[in-house]
Amino acid sequence: MTYGYIRVSTDKQTVENQRFEICDFCKKENLEIDGWIEETISGTKNYDKRKLGDLLNHVQSGDLIICAELSRLGRSLFMIMEILSICMKKDCKVWTIKDNFRLGDDIQSKVLAFAFGLSAEIERNLISQRTKEALKLKKAEGINLGRPKGRKTSPLKHKLYGKREIIDELLAFGISQRQIAKKFNVDRNTLARFLGKMK
């Protein structure tokens, strides 16, 4: 499937110029548009809040998205990279007319894939570094890190409280701890700990 994607920022702008550019390009490339996606929305709005997000969810391997220029996809470099990364993972091609960009099975795409991978790794490292610094600061301030220590539960609140005699009888009849635990709807380890505590 070949999709023509058109985006304008305001109602005062017209989609006709972009549509003409795409149609003219397709004529030269001997392509036919199977579906048009047009929207009037700011490029700063995240792609998943736009019709573009629906298109990215819908595209499959071998599909082609044609737009007038890369800035039609998004206003920020990171957003454009994220959109192109999704297309690469789905093996969907993206072609632009004005800046003559081609995302497909060529060296340019491989360089882009490397750039995406590198930027993602840098982002992960930055997040990790910020997390370590924040934890170090909290530790220096005397804040306890990690899970809070569990409070001792009162035996009265234990699921098996008051059932010791029945459990002992069941054990005397040769019923396994696993079966008893199942009967009282508790884990086998919970039963074992209960029996250990009650000795």
pLDDT tens readout for residues 6-62:
999 877 677 889 999 999 999 999 999 999 999 999 888 999 999 999 999 999 999
Q: Does pLDDT of 93 surpass 60?
A: yes
Q: Are residues 88 and 161 in the same domain?
A: no
Residue 120 within a domain: no
* Pairing state between β 35-40 and 2-8: parallel
Residue 40: which H helix or E strand, with range?
Answer: strand 35-40
Domain count of the fold of the chain: 2
- For tokens 């959109």, name the residue: 83
Q: Are residues 84 and 22 in the same domain?
A: yes
Q: Measuring CA to CA, how many Å separate 57 from each of 42, 65, 84, 198?
A: 20, 13, 13, 57
Q: Are residues 86 and 160 in the same domain?
A: no
Residue 37 within a domain: yes
User: How large is the angle between the packed helices 51-58 and 77-89, nearest 10 degrees?
Assistant: 20
Task: Give the domain-ending residue among 53, 86, 113.
Answer: 113
CATH number at residue 108: 3.40.50.1390
Report yes or no: 160 and 170 within 8 Å, Cβ to Cβ: no
Q: Are residues 11 and 100 in the same domain?
A: yes
Q: Does pLDDT of 153 surpass 60?
A: no
> Across all residues in the chain, what is the average pLDDT?
83
pLDDT tens readout for residues 60-83:
999 999 999 888 998 887 788 889
Residue 31: its pLDDT value, please?
A: 94
Task: Give the domain-ending residue among 113, 144, 163.
Answer: 113
- Provide, rounded to the nearest whole percent, the portion of the chain with pLDDT above 90: 30
Residue 140 within a domain: no
Residue 25 within a domain: yes
Cβ partners under 8 Å of residue 72, min gap 6: 5, 6, 7, 18, 43, 96
Task: Give the domain-ending residue among 81, 113, 145.
Answer: 113
Range of the domain at 171: 155-197
Q: Which carries the bigger pLDDT value, residue 134 or residue 26?
A: 26
